[in-house]
Amino acid sequence: KAGVTQTPRYLIKTRGQQVTLSCSPISGHRSVSWYQQTPGQGLQFLFEYFSETQRNKGNFPGRFSGRQFSNSRSEMNVSTLELGDSALYLCASSHSSTFYEQYFGPGTRLTVT
């Protein structure tokens, strides 16, 4: 079974731009979660989607948004980028719930200059 894939792997953007990151979960997994990791911080929960519905959202500004498609693929979007948005963004999938073990993708490293 193919693992979780994320594209792109690396991205450099300038302040004020917007960015879209993509995540393809393991086949059959319908729950997709997104996390942000910055130096010195643990993985910070962004949001979770199941069957195209956002079931929970972390404590991030409205510039961070996401969606999930009918094939369970998910995208997250960050608008009006700030320097502090530079981070590793990880997505994780599971069959149906974040109660169960999460399978993580390789991440997208975003640098904002």
Partner 1 sequence: ILNVEQSPQSLHVQEGDSTNFTCSFPSSNFYALHWYRWETAKSPEALFVMTLNGDEKKKGRISATLNTKEGYSYLYIKGSQPEDSATYLCAYYFGNEKLTFGTGTRLTIIP
Q: Which residues bind partner 1 (CB under 8 A)?
A: 3-4, 31, 33, 35, 40-45, 48, 50, 55-56, 58, 90, 92, 97-107
In which residue are the tokens 């974040």 written?
A: 98
As a dihedral over the C-alpha atoms of residue 25, residue 30, residue 36, residue 37, rounded to 10 degrees, the angle is -60
In angstroms, what is the minimal distance from the CB of 113 to partner 1?
Answer: 23
Residue closer to partner 1 by CB (options 66, 105) is: 105
Residue closer to partner 1 by CB (options 76, 90) is: 90
In angstroms, what is the minimal distance from the CB of 107 to partner 1?
Answer: 7
Residue 85 backbone phi and psi in degrees, to 5: -80, -5
Cα–Cα distance measured from residue 19 to residue 34, given in angstroms and rounded to the nearest whole number:
15
Q: Which DSSP category does 26 fall into?
A: P
In angstroms, what is the minimal distance from the CB of 96 to partner 1?
Answer: 10
